[in-house]
Amino acid sequence: MPSASHPTAPYLNLNRTQLLIRLGASALAEGESHLENPSVRESIEAAQQWFGQHYDTIKKAVCTRKDVLTSKGLNAAAAVFDVITSVLGGVPVTFAAIYVADYGLDKFCKTGLKEFKESMDEQPK
């Protein structure tokens, strides 16, 4: 389990929809638009766009690392975070790491971008 000081720790109890909203809002705040109070829909669309832009990089970083793929539960979020931070950085990475870990590493590594993005429209579990 990640320590309480790990960047993912404060957000581990969020559901996928909440993670997407935070990821999108972070991406919008950091992006060219500097939008500070986006709507839920704007945030989710921004999260989908962010994942679309970074999907291949995340997949390559995560799915080629046996140590990441064998991590389970809360440790998976920390492992994904540590790996993708080295290639992407930025606040959205925290929420992306938890989302990918919650989605399931095996499923993520076998899923194409279209199916992965469709998961973002599903109800929270």
Tens of pLDDT, residues 80-112? 999 998 888 776 888 999 999 999 999 999 988
Q: Is the dihedral of CA 124, 46, 8, 70 positive or negative?
A: positive
39 lies in some domain: yes
Percent of residues, the chain, with pLDDT higher than 70: 90
Name the residue range of residue 92's domain: 9-119
- Per-residue confidence at 37, pLDDT binned at 50, 70, 90? confident
The residues near 35 (Cβ < 8 Å, ≥ 6 apart) are: 28, 29, 42
69 lies in some domain: yes
1 lies in some domain: no
User: What pLDDT is attached to residue 124?
Assistant: 53
Report if pTM > 0.85: no
- Per-residue confidence at 120, pLDDT binned at 50, 70, 90? confident
